[in-house]
């Protein structure tokens, strides 16, 4: 059996994706909001919005989730 390193990496990366519902993505410690709603935090730290747009990890200060029990890793 031959396993491609690329497919293995894709599988491992998918395990590290965290989906958050009803989240607020902040640009700073204050009140600068970049996004409200569902997001996916990718393994590399980028934040993916439902539209497919990405927010750089350097742009995000923190993410608050109001329904923590609904946050899950996929």
Mean pLDDT of 2-27: 80
Do 64 and 30 form a contact (C-beta atoms < 8 A)?
Answer: no
Tell me which residue range forms the domain holding 32. Answer: 5-73
Which of 7, 10, 20, 8 shows the shortest CA–CA distance to 44? Answer: 10
Task: Choose between 70 and 43: higher pLDDT.
Answer: 43
Task: Give pTM, 2 decimals.
Answer: 0.71
Positive or negative, the Cα torsion across 30, 32, 35, 36? positive
Do 23 and 60 form a contact (C-beta atoms < 8 A)?
Answer: no
List, for residues 23-53, the tens digit of each pLDDT value.
999 999 988 999 999 999 998 999 999 999 9
Unique residue bearing structure tokens 């393994």: 43
Based on the structure, what is the number of domains in the chain? 1
């Amino acid at each position: 059996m031959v396993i491609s390193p690329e497919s293995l990496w894709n599988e491992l990366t998918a395990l590290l994706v965290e989906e958050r519902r009803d989240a607020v993505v902040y640009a700073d410690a204050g009140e600068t909001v970049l996004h409200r709603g569902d997001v996916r935090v990718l393994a590399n730290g980028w934040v993916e919005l439902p539209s497919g747009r990405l927010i750089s990890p350097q742009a995000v200060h923190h993410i608050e989730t109001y329904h923590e029990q609904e946050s899950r890793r996929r």
